[in-house]
Amino acid sequence: MIKRLFWLTVGFGLGVLFMLRLTRAVRATVERYLPAPLAERLRALNAALDQRAREIRARTRPLRSVS
């Protein structure tokens, strides 16, 4: 049982590390090949979505504390 738990943990850790590394590599490649105006539009869209998510969280926080 201990061996299984050990290898499960090792596999999970390696999977997480692999995905983080892959995510960084893909982002770097996308940044390298995107034209500047498109990259700026995507950054602006991402910022707007982040702002909207913060507003929604702030609005729903009081509702969650009531229940």
pLDDT tier at 67, thresholds 50, 70, 90: low
7 and 24 together in one domain = yes
State pLDDT tens for residues 3-54: 999 999 999 999 999 999 999 999 999 888 888 888 889 999 999 999 999 9
**Assessment of whether the complete model's pTM goes beyond 0.85:** no
Predicted local distance difference test score (pLDDT) of residue 34: 81
The predicted model gives 47-66 an average pLDDT of 90
Say whether both 12 and 23 belong to one domain.
yes
Residue 47 tokens, joined: 């910022």
The pLDDT assigned to 28 comes to 92
Q: Return d(Cα 40, Cα 47) in angstroms, integer.
A: 10
Please indicate, yes or no, whether residues 20 and 41 belong to a single structural domain of this protein: no
* 27, 39: one domain: no
CB atoms within 10 A of CB 37: 8
**40 in the same domain as 28:** no
Statement to judge: residues 21 and 43 lie in one domain: no
Query: What is the total residue count of the chain?
Result: 67
**Domain that residue 9 falls in:** 1-33
Domain count, the chain: 2
Q: Are 41 and 56 found together in one domain?
A: yes
